[in-house]
Structure formats: structure tokens, C-alpha cells
Structure 1
């Protein structure tokens, strides 16, 4: 029971986990001699936390790394030195010796400035911080100071004699003494943090707040539950149900004990599914939008595309995907210990052995819920609960086992159909990567055409025209297969209008799954606004236009990979009444937080964040995601804010998918508030 208590303690730890920032950085520049300096980066670490050394050699452990953007007028002298008390400790997990530092750590880098003009010295650090229980997500910090070589003598004279004599006889310059005033102005011009955007005190507090929706955890849970039921019908899992329940009812000393063991076994199945999501909670912390970044990462979506293609052909029967045999053997051997621990490892063995069929299903859950670790837990919890109820239910009422259909060819049919669905999902991930990369080669009509072909292939398979390796060559086409063939025929016919040009949504049931309407072979310009609306993609440009036309602004935080954003546009924005309001009464600023395009070189600047940290913004998406997080304390998509041309929030923002009435009320309330302000002026 002690081990069980530890498992519950772990679950309690990640459920209650909160965003932490147990490290603070300070940056100074010391003058050594004419044109030579030393940059000093000091990390102050909270008690109980530690920072991995820059010299760590263990694979998978993340060392502290300093990088210095190239500057023709800056010459680095030697390598970055790490100063602090190093602790070495062997880790069974990493199978190597970890080297880390705690409390206070200094990093020193000497450099030389060539020429007599002021230069900007820049540095970036990437690091990971841990304690004895968790590691926070890898994070970084950016540093920037302007140094004026021609003013060295003046700077030296301004430093007190005490500062000159300290620390290796270096002349220490306070950070504020080497920062150019013009540099500070440039940072503030980025408009990342705007004090007047007070999310807690909009002008009108009577509307908006009450209709903000939650994260949709219930639907994610239901999705996971249904996926779990589908996985139970696959050849890897279905035959295990009668075999496993029979074991408990026959091997136990009495029926009561058999039922008790089977219920504990079912509970462990649910627990194992939940524990699979534990690492995603332990990577919480410093960077709140890390899961948004993961879900819209081009490389990750391409990896998902390849994986789902591999899963699809595995379901077709061309090969099997299994976990390593040593993993199965170890788990199976541990299950022989008996008692509660033995039951736990029996459940783990079931999950591992079933991986070849459940992996693709769980992969789709992972891909759907990766934006939020709590969503992931709900999805896996739903899947695990489906299994637990089936195994637990048959344990309580074993007589129902006799009514179960026999294992046979129908399970292979389900598996092949799932293979086709995996193939369709693969192109969904390819589409998301295409949208985020802004290559736009997978047009809406091409995407819909591929899905129509997949629907047609399913119909032909169900009618026996197409065969796969494990199909019975002389199988009869029953009424069940004919009914499902009819359903997929209807689905294929429904998608046909998506092949033709349209300025209005023509596949509303597939909103969020297909590329947007403006990503079309019939449009010459892919950047044309959705639904014919005049949409601006830069906040500052929207402000200028709003001042010129004296209109309020709708800030639409969106993403190329955001399904709910597309649903809002195609279901809600397309409504004639709402479209008219958007088209005539508001300036629309759609800010894409997953836009991977690099900002112009002059706009790639270090910006000040609320918590006193600095970060270099390099991409358009990073700029707007930081803007959203810093001003509105959220990274939800879609997220809508109504503001005045002088940067004041009209009413409470709303997040997530809205129904027509709620969104229309939100817009009308904000516009009415703006008109009342105009009348008072």
C-alpha cells in the first residue's frame, strides 16, 4: 500500500502544479582595459532548485548554453566561464553523472570592441531548472547593453573607488550606466506591454465576462471515452476481455475475491492511462504557451503526418507496430509477484501488448489535446475509463461474456476502416504544417478531394472491391458493412461542394478540419481576408486606421493551426448579421500567434516583460503570442478583445468558440459602449 500511496502522491503533485519562476537573472558589464570588457550574467536560484551546468555531458539533460549573435565589431575572448559550487550526482534515469549548481551562479564572457562607435552587446541563455521532484520547461533569457568605447574614461571616473577595487580589480559599471537611452525608447516602442489595456477593469463591466467559456474539458473527455471504446473493438484488445475476466473468476480463491481483484485491475488500467500524461504536467511552468507552440510546430506536425501514415498501413495489415519485447517481458515478469503490485503490472502488460492497436488511437488523442496538459489528462482519462468500465463490468457480471460476439473478421474490418481514418488525419497534420509555414500548397479543394477519395476507398473496401492482407478472400458482405458503406457514401457526397469556388462556407460540419476558404486554388492571393472582410494583421496598423476612421478595434488572437478559430469564422462570422457588424463597425486585427515568419531584422528586438524578464522576439507569431500573454494573461485561441483607438478595453474579452447570440451580444455591447464614449466627448 505504501507504493500505491506514492502513486497517488505523484498524481496529486501534478494536478496542483502551478506556474513557477524560481530563477532570476542579472546582467552587468565590467570594464577591463581600453576596448576590452567582461559580461557578467548572474543567476539567483531559489532554495531547493538547481541549474544544470554548461559542461554537462549526459544525453537528454539540457545544459545551460550561452549564445552571442554575430557582430562584426565584437570579438569574443575565450569561452564563457561558469563560477559556482558544482554538485555531481549519478542519475539512474539518465544513466550518467549530472552536474548542477544552486543558489548563485555567475557566467563570465570577455570580449573586445573594435572601432570607436557605440555597439550593442547581445547575449542569449537557454537553460532548464529542476528540483528533486520536477523539471520546468526549458526556457531562455535575452540580454542587451550598448557600450560606448569613446566614453570609457568618463565612465571610469563616474564609478566609485570602492567599485574599482572590488572583484579582481575590475571597474564595475552598473547596467544603467552602459545602456543607451535611445535603446530604451526602441524597446518601449514595441508595444508589448500596454498599461492602459487593463483586462480587469474594462470601461463596461456589464457584458463579456459572463459568456467566457471554459476549455471544453467535457468534450475532450467524451472524445477520449469514445476513442477508448473503439480501441476495445480492435483485434489486439477485444480477445483479451473474456480471457482476462475468465482468469480472475477462475483463479481466485472465491468469486468475491475474483471480482475484487478484477475491479482493482480495472482501476489500475485507468491509473496507467492517467500516469502516461504525468510528464506533460511536470513540464509545466515558465513558458505558458509551450503547448500552443508544440501544437503548431511545423516539424512536429510533419512528424505526426509521417507517423499517421505509418499507423494507417499498419492497420491495413502490411506490418505490425509493437513495443520492444524486453518491455513486455519485464512487465509480464513483474506481474507474477502477486497481490496488488502484481495486478498493477498485469494492467501495464495489457496496455503494452495492446499498443499496436491502441497506439494510433491514443496518438490522435495526443495530437488533439497537446495544447493543454489538462486536456490531455481528460482525454486519456476518458479512454482509460472506457477500458476500466468494460473490464470491471464484465467482472461483476461475467454471465454477459456469453453474449459477446465471437472474435473474427469483423474486427479486422474495423481495424482497416480505422486505417483509412488515420490516413485522413495524416493530411490534417500536413495541412496544419502547410498553413503555419505559409506555403499554402495544400489548397482547400485539394484537401477536400483527398478526403473524398479516402471516403470512396472505404466504401469500396466495405463492399469487398478492395482487399487487404488479413481479409477473408471469400468473406460475405453483410448488412452491417452495407449500412456503413452507405454512411461513408453520404459523407463523400456531402464534401463534393468543397471542390467548387465559394465565398461563403459550404462545408460547415467540417469547419476547423479543412483549410480556410481563402486558401483556395480559385484565389490568386492567399492572404485575402476571410469572408471578404478587410482584415489587418498588425496591431499598430489597426490602431492607426482606427484613429483615422474613429472606430473600435476587434483584436482577434488566432492561429493558422487553430480549429476553433476556423469554426468561428465559418459558422459565426459568416452569419449575415454578424458579418455586417464586423464589416461596417469595427477595424479587425487578426493576430496570428503561430506565424513562424521572421520579423524584419530591425524589429527583432529585446522586449521587457511584466515579471522583469527580457526576451528577444524574432518571429511574428512570438510577437503576438507575447503581446497576448503579457496584456491579457492568457494564451487561449480564439480570443477576442474590443478596444478603443486609444488602447482602452471596452468590455470583458471572450475566449473559445461562441454561439451566434453570445458573440453578437459581445460585439453589440462593445460597440454601444464606444458610441456612448464618443457622445460624451
Structure 2
């Protein structure tokens, strides 16, 4: 009788399974010349679902990845895969920015064919789509090429569009609905063939870059290399100009020249690296390591170890050109200011360019526009209204205090880039506690410096604290104290996104907390791991089931993903409830199967799925195929309660943010096990 009951239960579960397919693809191929073709892949995304950019930062959702099947070298890729504009949103669960597409997305890749016998091009894409649940999907595109004749004289855009069929392989439904390959010549579509959209930041993100750079430009003004030059420059314009109107005009031209010089610098950075490739650099290990070293170098300069100066010959040659008069002379005066003040402005400019480059798109240009605007504005205003000069504070030791303070900020920011590199390679050398410890040391030392307990090279003798310095010292001290509880699991929302996420730490839920990951290695059964909140968890189905038999407990089967945001929400806000956590720790055996685990299976364990026809190569492929095959479902999170024989004894559920509903579901499954 029990067997019949179990069979009926299984039939019920299968009938309720659902293979989700929120992203539909279509594609075409555009012939650009005799040997060049543009592969266009367009995704239509269901409402409320998102798929992610190729450039979304590590630590959050999975990026879209293209694999061009070109083993024989039949063609070469021309540049990187372009994509349509994405949206940028901060994910407070993963504590990173995420770049995603809603409703639609377009990807374009230009290729140059080198083998005239090539008939088709295959492109494999892997991507993640999320709503209340997340799914890992893939798709195989097959682009049919016309008969090629290598006539290089026929260069230029022929504007022939070839519509191809694609053989999707990301779900059972798609596999059954394969589209028959066809080639159709269509009318000329110059917009379609030329409109390549590179990823850019949203306007809100660019405004943030501008304002941050503007503050940086204002900080550069308050350094020993720049501040004393304000009265000197203003005096030059007021004395050398024949009339007040001419003086004001020249002052405006001087300010415009400063802005022009720095914007050109930002344009060069964008031009050298490429607007779209800068995003990819932000998650590159070497990029982050190089800029970590660069910012430490800048910080050491500001703290007084040495000065970064450009060759004197540069300044002399530029100064000679400044005597030419007119706009050209004023332009060279602005360039001379940039060169002479480089020892103070260089580290700030370098830091802003590093930060802007990591954002990609037009950010370096916008950043330099903000920096130079703040730098140029006082020179213009004081030259136009010389009477305001009387309100300026006198130069003195406070200027070096500003410079040193910037050095401490540079040093703190440097460790963000080192943390990025550590997160990318998952070395766990700079986990959250270590990062916060370093920041506490840096800001604590800065506070001691501001209180006058430490002196550095180039400091003037300090006889008393100014009111401004005292307030700044108090503010830095408060911030340092604010950081300390982070070592014990405080979220530190003010600096969210700077330190590694709480899951990337020695104690993900805080040192000494009752729900912390305080399960020791001695407490763990063989093959088990310490999961969220110290729950004993298995990452292999057979090993977890064997342990469940041994201890006589039911199994909580958890289909999850490292990059599944709602999986983390369930763990953080539902599993953490004391009444639920007690059940998960004491009454069930947790088996968490990660469908996005990229580690390869041994060659002998790799296979082709009978259900989907896909090659099962990684551990994640294996568990995803297991979920699809057994439950006809491909979304995460997905929970099932099994008995110790591996038979389902509960109705599977997905994302359930209602803690009471989830608790009721757990209790019903456990009560079924006891019958």
C-alpha cells in the first residue's frame, strides 16, 4: 500500500513540474563585406524576468557568456561581442552592482571568415535568468553562410541579411520546437547593419561619477601644489589684461582650457581601452592587482614618502609657449598649471581614472569633466571677481594636512581593488574580517594623525588643533568605531559594496553569534560542510542520503545556486528564523545541490542527458539535469523533503519568503516521515 502511495505522490509531483523558459531567442547574419559577417542574437525576455550582461561584476548573478565554436580556425573574431544598453542596480544581498537586461537584449559579433569552404558558424551562449527564482540556461545558434567568393575588391557593407534557424538546447520544450534552418535575402537595412550598441552606464551612474570627480577636484584645490597658485594666477590676469572685460574673458578661457585638457585625458583612456572593454577590466585579476599597487604608490606620495613630478623640461617648454598670448598662450598656461601641480593632482586624477575605468563606457570622460570643472571654477570666479580673494584662507600647514588625509583615503580605496582580485580567484586571503581590520587600522591611524598624535614628513609644528581639524578628527574617529562591529557580523550598510560580502568571511554570520557558522570540523560528519547559519550540509546527493539513513532523519533537498539571489534571501531571512533554524539543524539532513557549480566532472562521469540532449560536463550540469529529469523543473530555489530511501514525501516548493508558510511546509514533510 505504501508503494502505491509513493507512486501516486511521484505522479503528482511530475504533473506539477514546470520547465521555465522566460528568454526566447532569434538571430540573423548580416554580410558586411566579401569575408566579414555580423552575427546578431536577439533575446526577448518575459515581464519581470532579467538576464545579465556579459560585464556584470563577479560576486552576484552569472554573466552571459558566448562560446564561438571555431576549433579549426575557420574565422576570426573582430573585436568583442557588443551588447545593447543594460540597467545597473545595486544588489543588497550580494552587495555588488548588477548589470541586467529587461524585456529585450541584443548581442552582435563581427567575424572575418578565412576558410572559403565554411558553410555554417555555431555559437553557444550560457546565461542566467532571474525573477522570484533563478534558472541557468543555454542556447546553440547555427548561422548558415552563403557560398563564399574571396573577392577583396568587394569590400564594404553589402547589407545582405541572412536569417538563420537556431537549435535551442536550454529546455525540453525548446528542444522539441527546433526551428528549421532557412536562408532568406531581405531588403537593405543600413541601420541594422551599422547600429552596434556598446554597454554604457545609466545616467544616474554617470551623475554619480561626475559628482565624485567634482569632489575630487575640489580636494585637489586644497593641496599645497594648487591652492597657492590661485592668487598668483588671478593676479596675472588682472594685471596683464588691458581692461576688466579682457581679464574676465581670459579667466574664462583659462578655465575652459583646464577642462579641455583633462577631458582630453579621459577621452584618451576611453579610446585606448575601448568604452565597452573597460567594463570587462573591472573583474580582471591583473587589472585589480595593478591598480592596487598604483593606489598604494599614490598614497605613499601623499603621505610624504616622495613626490611624483614630471620632468622640469616639460614645464619649461610649456611655459615658453604660454608667452605667445591669445587663446593658444592661455591654453599652454593651463597645461603648465597641470604639469606643475601634478605632484598633488596626479594621484587624485589617477585614482579617479582607475575608478572610472572600472565602471566603463563614458565614465573616464565624465569623471575628468567633473574633476576639471571643480579645479577650474575658482580660477575663473576669483579672476572675474578679484575682491573675493580677501575671503580666502592663508596658505599654511593645513594644506599638507589635506594632502595627507587624501593619502589615507587613497590607501583605504586601494584595498578595494585587492579585494576584487581576491574575490575573482576565490583565494580567501582577504576575507571580510581581514578587510575590515585593515580599514579600522587605516582610519584609526588617520584619526590619531588628525588629533596630532602622529606627525609625518612635511608637517608643520602643531601648537593647537583648529576647529575644522578637530571636527574632522571626531568624524573619522566615529567612522572607525562604526566599522568595529562589522567584525561581529554588523551589516555596515553605509559602506555596503566596499568590503567583501558577509558570505565571504571566516564567520559568515559574525564572530560569536548564536547563529554564526560555529560548527567546528570535529562536529562535521564525513563529506559534510558547514552551511548557512552553521547548518550541517552535504553537496553530494548520495553522500547526504547515506548520512540520512545512518541518523534516521528525512532529507531536505535544496536545489540552489551560488549566484541565485532568492536562494540567499531564503537563507538570510527565512532559514535564519530561530523556529526554522532549529528544525534545519536538528530534524532534517540538508543536501544542497548547486546547479551553477562550474567544476568539471571526471571524464568518466560526463555524459549526454537523455532528457535534454545536453552534454553534462560540470557538477552544476549534473545537478541541473537531475532536477529537470526528476522534477521537470529548472528553477532555483527548489525544495523537496525525502525519506531516507530517497522517495519524495512532500510537495516541492520554490521561493517562499513567508517564514510561517515555509515552517508549515517543513513540519508537514517531517510529520509524513514519522508515519
TM-score (norm 2): 0.52
Alignment partner of 1:121 is 2:72: yes
Alignment partner of 1:324 is 2:311: yes
1:265-414 alignment runs, 5 A limit: 265-282=254-271, 289-370=276-357, 371-414=359-402
In the other structure, the counterpart of 1:166 is none
CA RMSD of aligned residues (A): 5.4
Structure-2 change in CA distance of 1:519 and 1:578 (3 Å): closer
Following the alignment from structure 2 to structure 1, what is the Cα–Cα distance between the partners of residues 126 and 467?
69
Aligned 8 A contact 1:280 1:373 in 2: no
Post-superposition shift, 1:141?
6.0
In the other structure, the counterpart of 1:250 is 239
Structure-2 change in CA distance of 1:302 and 1:320 (3 Å): same
Question: How many pairs are equivalent?
Answer: 426
Structure 1 unaligned blocks of 5 or more: 1-20, 27-41, 46-118, 130-138, 145-171, 199-211, 538-548, 559-567, 603-617, 624-643, 648-666, 669-681
Following the alignment from structure 2 to structure 1, what is the Cα–Cα distance between the partners of residues 410 and 634?
49
Aligned 8 A contact 1:328 1:353 in 2: yes
1:640-672 residue CA offsets vs partner (Å, 9 max, x unmatched)? xxxx9679xxxxxxxxxxxxxxxxxxx99xxxx
In the other structure, the counterpart of 1:14 is none
SS where residue 438 of structure 2 aligns?
helix
SS where residue 191 of structure 1 aligns?
strand
Aligned 8 A contact 1:552 1:645 in 2: no
1:102-251 alignment runs, 5 A limit: 121-122=72-73, 125=76, 174-176=117-119, 191=139, 214-251=203-240
Structure-2 change in CA distance of 1:128 and 1:261 (3 Å): same
Following the alignment from structure 2 to structure 1, what is the Cα–Cα distance between the partners of residues 306 and 219?
21
Following the alignment from structure 1 to structure 2, what is the Cα–Cα distance between the partners of residues 378 and 186?
33
1:536-556 residue CA offsets vs partner (Å, 9 max, x unmatched)? x9xxxxxxxxxxx99999996
Following the alignment from structure 1 to structure 2, what is the Cα–Cα distance between the partners of residues 290 and 313?
30
1:353-396 residue CA offsets vs partner (Å, 9 max, x unmatched)? 22211122122222222122322222211111112221111122
In the other structure, the counterpart of 1:83 is none
Aligned 8 A contact 2:234 2:379 in 1: yes
In the other structure, the counterpart of 2:421 is 433
1:464-485 residue CA offsets vs partner (Å, 9 max, x unmatched)? 2211111123543333222221
Aligned 8 A contact 1:518 1:529 in 2: no
Alignment partner of 1:446 is 2:460: no
1:452-509 residue CA offsets vs partner (Å, 9 max, x unmatched)? 1111111211122211111123543333222221111111110111222x3xx52111
Following the alignment from structure 1 to structure 2, what is the Cα–Cα distance between the partners of residues 448 and 305?
17
Following the alignment from structure 1 to structure 2, what is the Cα–Cα distance between the partners of residues 318 and 352?
20
In the other structure, the counterpart of 2:552 is none
Following the alignment from structure 1 to structure 2, what is the Cα–Cα distance between the partners of residues 590 and 332?
64
Aligned 8 A contact 1:222 1:382 in 2: yes
Aligned 8 A contact 2:278 2:360 in 1: yes
Structure-2 change in CA distance of 1:447 and 1:551 (3 Å): closer
SS where residue 243 of structure 1 aligns?
helix
Following the alignment from structure 2 to structure 1, what is the Cα–Cα distance between the partners of residues 78 and 302?
41
1:287-336 residue CA offsets vs partner (Å, 9 max, x unmatched)? x7512211121111111111111111111112100123333233222222
Aligned 8 A contact 2:305 2:457 in 1: yes
Structure-2 change in CA distance of 1:484 and 1:248 (3 Å): same
Post-superposition shift, 1:249?
0.5
Post-superposition shift, 1:192?
6.1
Following the alignment from structure 1 to structure 2, what is the Cα–Cα distance between the partners of residues 250 and 263?
16
Structure-2 change in CA distance of 1:510 and 1:318 (3 Å): same
2:499 to 503, 514, 523: 514
Structure 2 unaligned blocks of 5 or more: 1-28, 39-69, 81-108, 128-136, 142-165, 171-200, 509-516, 520-528, 540-555, 582-591, 604-616, 622-631, 636-656, 659-675
Post-superposition shift, 1:577?
8.7
Following the alignment from structure 1 to structure 2, what is the Cα–Cα distance between the partners of residues 419 and 445?
23
In the other structure, the counterpart of 2:456 is 468
Structure-2 change in CA distance of 1:126 and 1:197 (3 Å): closer
1:88-108 residue CA offsets vs partner (Å, 9 max, x unmatched)? xxxxxxxxxxxxxxxxxxxxx
